[in-house]
Amino acid sequence: MNSYVEFAIGVVFYNPTDEEVLKVKDYSEIVPRVYIYDNTEENPNPLCLINLKQDEYTYIANNKNDGIAVALNKLCNLAKKDGYKYLLLLDQDSIFKIEDIRKMFQEIRNHASKDIGIYTPEIHYMKGNGEIRARTVQTKPSTVFSEISWAITSGSVVSLEVYSQSSGFDEFLFIDRVDYEYCVQLRKLGFKTVRISGAILYQFLGETQGGIFKFSGHNPIRHYYIFRNRLYLVQKYKENFNGIKKVAYLGLTITRHLALVLICESRKTEKFKAIKVAYRDYKKGKMGKYDPENSRELA
């Protein structure tokens, strides 16, 4: 029996393992419907179709990678159309225990507010089987909600009423900073992003590199999106980056980005090429998915 009838869950797949697909069955035990957007480019995994009753899930696959923003917008719009008030968004590799999901849903039921656009759990990052760090300081046990500036996508419960008042997730970004941009957008509209105390989601990081400097390494294409999208967001929210503030922010973030690649990362030449192409594409207004036909340096 699904007790949280106003909630649905949306999961984005990209080459999921069988174990990751099977987690959907657990989710279906606490909500009436699970929405699955499969960004796998070839031969999407049909296992979820076998292990779930058809009236418990909606499965979307286009045999291509549409990016995270397109997937999130589709999931939110479907859930809104089907009459749900809230949608919990999850990555395929996130570890979010059912009891923590229940706790989160119950706290939202008990303390929901029309000025809250996103509810998020406490996020603990993992590398392999070892915990690395929490992204934010945990709230005091006596505090149910604590306002934060932004939240990662996975684990976020989106108010679909608030979502309908926004312009949705920015599909120009494709991936990287999609979650951050949505939270900035909501804040400009007068809505809050809050963290719920006591509900914990474990999120896996990429390959961690460096000796003294610990950070999560990325492939060249990801560096392309990070660099290009940073420039795009500064321009999109230029009222937040006037004059010296813009120069200081871009100077610091770009210098740090280049320094980390130079000092700590492998495949330096490829990554510097990716950053060069990212700058060129931004200047030309090329957003969305990276197009290797127009940027042969990274092909």
Is the pLDDT at 294 greater than 70? The verdict is no
Give me 247's structure tokens.
Answer: 């120069």
Is the pLDDT at 214 greater than 90? The verdict is no
pLDDT for the residue numbered 56: 83
Distance CA 233, CA 241 (A): 10
Query: Lowest mean pLDDT: which of 153-162, 177-186, 230-239, 256-265?
Result: 256-265
Digit-coded pLDDT (tens) for 54-67: 778 899 998 899 99
SS (H, E, C) 179-223: HHHHHHHHHHCCCEEEEEEEEEEEEECCCEECCCCCEECCCHHHH
Digit-coded pLDDT (tens) for 146-159: 999 999 999 999 99
What are the chain's domains?
7-204 (3.90.550.60), 208-298 (no CATH)
pTM of the model: 0.87
Give me 177's structure tokens.
Answer: 């900073």
Q: How confident is the model at residue 140 (pLDDT cuts 50, 70, 90)?
A: very low
